[in-house]
Structure 1
């Protein structure tokens, strides 16, 4: 069911996924208005959508997601909210209070604003990390939403995203002032790649520093299935359409969905090589040291950083959680999203790879120049 005539809100609008989702909404739907919500919005961020906006009004709402009054203004009159904004922290460099404030408190305040302002649909952008991998590195192959997996999340980012997801799903069915009810769902994308991915840029910069040799931090057999940003955006649109459809709303509401596509399963390190080998990069054959020794080294670094915490905040370049994530086979199916949301990858693997490589090729000269100065 189309969203034609609706007013939509996208938080994290200036981020990697947020920008792609907004462009997709403008290209695929005839909305009355899209509201760009972010902590900082530049004029060029709004103008960048000029070529595809049509008659849709694009308005910027710059503010803090922890500000309830700001969120109420942003949600007033909207029918659908896409909550994409969060702090992504893979190395433990962000204080827990900041992570919890944005990822959990911000989500709760946004849900409250949606309820107060009669927003009918709420789509939460979660992450595969709310499931794991667990500290033991137990693998999952082609998992589904019914897969049973024991995991006590210890890493701050994973914990806050899990709590925010739970609050989002719990809000499903909340009674609104106008007598209708809020419908919510959560999407759990795999590692998202594509044009604008800062993690790919970071790995490319590391490779340039290492004389065009990419670092290997993943075992070859630790396969995951990344998802292209264009397909992740399409999953959000399909979720919104499903929540608007009276025949699907009660099925989708309150549920989470894994979002992947047809990107071939591969380890994180080898995925970097797949994307950058056409640009002249090779990759190390083996890990810098046996995996067990790397875990010990990470543990020692974490102990040192903890001891020094009262005096100086140091962040180790690698931690045990990240090392486990990089070396655990963890793949998932998108079949339930396909069956219930109507999701299907919009871009083939060949198209996604080509677009990403072309974007990286365009960024490479600037990366080299920056590192040389």
Structure 2
């Protein structure tokens, strides 16, 4: 393929960094622009050390700044949009989530039109599909089944609106007279080294006598390793640039999973961390009781809102999402994108467990230095 250039948003993020490390190995990629609102010093150092012939340009800017996005998109061939606010527990204000996830995506689509960027790949979420009830059972679901979340919570509703905007933009006329082609990827729950969610569970466990946080005992899900999700984005970028493959990809969404065994979230966390002495509690509340307790806590939060800001430790959406039988096939991505997981379950398990080991070691060393 001829020389091309790419912009990745959310470049500081867990997934964004993996996509970047794979993209710089792609043939013909002349420039890679990486955009985020803020970069940690260690991330900037890692980016500067990338062994690549590709020019890597670090851009610090806000996804809500239309002028910043327009400048970032100038001369770009492909945009990979991973930037998002992820929050399923109600910590972040609703408007903040809607602004970043919906308005930010719309801003970026408009910037692509103005800068005549022909390809746009959106990182969506399995939350767009549901589950809507813990009683709902979807095993090996696929794209033709049209599953759609009905939750009013800001994260699933914002990702659903953003994905619809991206897919609706497919076929839009660009400023130079060309055409914008889009697609969306819906990863399952993503795990792996540097997962902030997994990190918080591990640190929380270490602070509470090594008992893992139990949130998903009753679920059957198919988590996906971060490298495999990143690989699917690279393949989507190749596909939208390939005149032979592009027509079948345009305007489509894809579930992205891998060969990680179907299991509960709790079993996954336990398997990844048991080598380091972390274990799950031996009991939990029955699921219906847990759901209605969440409803009660949400009601208390709502009633107290005029006088006191109370954030429940969990809500009905989190209970449902964490305790449903909800798995999806990657066959459509395999057919259209040529997607095959690059990393096996055994390798993913080993790499993630080794990273957890370093987190445990660093925590204990920090604790030890404080007590001396």
- The two structures have a TM-score, normalised by structure 2, of 0.95
Instruction: Provide the residue aligned with 2:162 in structure 1.
Output: 164
Q: Pick one of 309, 314, 320 that aligns with 1:313.
A: 309
- CA drift of 1:218 comes to 2.1
User: How far, CA to CA, are the matches of 1:177 and 1:13 in structure 2?
Assistant: 27
Q: Match for residue 364 of structure 1?
A: 360
- The answer to whether the aligner puts 1:286 opposite 2:283 as a matched pair is yes
- Among 61, 64, 76, the alignment partner of 1:63 is 61
Measured in 2, the distance between the counterparts of 1:157 and 1:247 equals: 35
Equivalent residue of 1:8, what SS?
Answer: strand
Comparing 300-309 with 124-133, greater Cα deviation is found at 300-309
Aligned counterpart, 1:335: 331
Q: Separation in 2 of the partners of 1:150 and 1:48?
A: 38
Structure-1 residue corresponding to 2:341:
345
Which of 22, 25, 30 pairs up with 1:24? 22
Map 1:133-172 to 2 at 5 A: 133-135=131-133, 137-149=135-147, 151-172=149-170
Distance 1:369 1:90, change over 3 A: farther
- Structure 1: how far apart are the matches of 2:7 and 2:51? 15
CA, structure 1 residues 242+110, in 2 after alignment: closer, same or farther (shift >3 Å)?
same
> Structure 1 unaligned runs (5+)?
none
Deviation at 1:130, TM superposition (A): 0.4
User: Could you tell me which residue of structure 1 aligns to residue 298 of structure 2?
Assistant: 302
- State whether structure 2 residue 83 is matched by structure 1 residue 85: yes
Deviation at 1:54, TM superposition (A): 1.8
1:148 CA drift (Å)? 4.2
Gaps of 5+ in 2: none
Query: 3-state DSSP class of the match of 2:143?
Result: coil
Moved more, 175-184 or 250-259: 175-184
Corresponding position of 1:223: 220
Q: Deviations over 1:178-202 (max 9, x none)?
A: 2210000000000111111011111
Tell me the residue number matched to 1:259: 256
Preserved CA contact (<8 Å) 2:85 2:97: yes
Question: Is the CA contact 1:46–1:59 (under 8 Å) kept in the aligned structure 2?
Answer: no
Change in 2 beyond 3 A, CA 1:149/1:124 = closer
Note closer, same or farther for the CA distance 1:206–1:249 as it changes in structure 2 (3 Å cut): same
Cα offsets for 1:227-262 (capped at 9, x unmatched): 111000000000010001111211101000000000
CA RMSD in angstroms, aligned pairs only: 1.6
Q: TM-score, length-normalised on structure 1? A: 0.95
SS at match of 2:47: coil
1 CA distance for matches of 2:29 and 2:116?
18
State the partner residue of 2:99.
101
Q: Offset of 1:136 from its aligned partner?
A: 5.1
Q: Say whether residues 1:271 and 2:286 are aligned partners.
A: no
Q: Secondary structure at the match of 2:35?
A: strand
Q: Is the 8 A contact 1:175 1:181 kept in 2?
A: yes
Q: How many residues align?
A: 369
Q: Where do residues 244-255 of structure 1 align in structure 2 (5 Å cutoff)?
A: 244-255=241-252
Q: Displacement, 1:302?
A: 0.9
Contact 1:137 1:325 in 2 (8 A): no
Contact 1:13 1:19 in 2 (8 A): yes
TM-superposed CA distance for 1:139, in Å, is: 1.5
Query: How far does the alpha carbon of each residue in 1:83-120 deviate from its partner, in whole angstroms, 9 at most, with x for none?
Result: 00000001011111111110000000000000110101
| Inter-partner Cα distance in structure 1 for 2:53 and 2:264 | 43
SS state of the match for residue 274, structure 1? helix
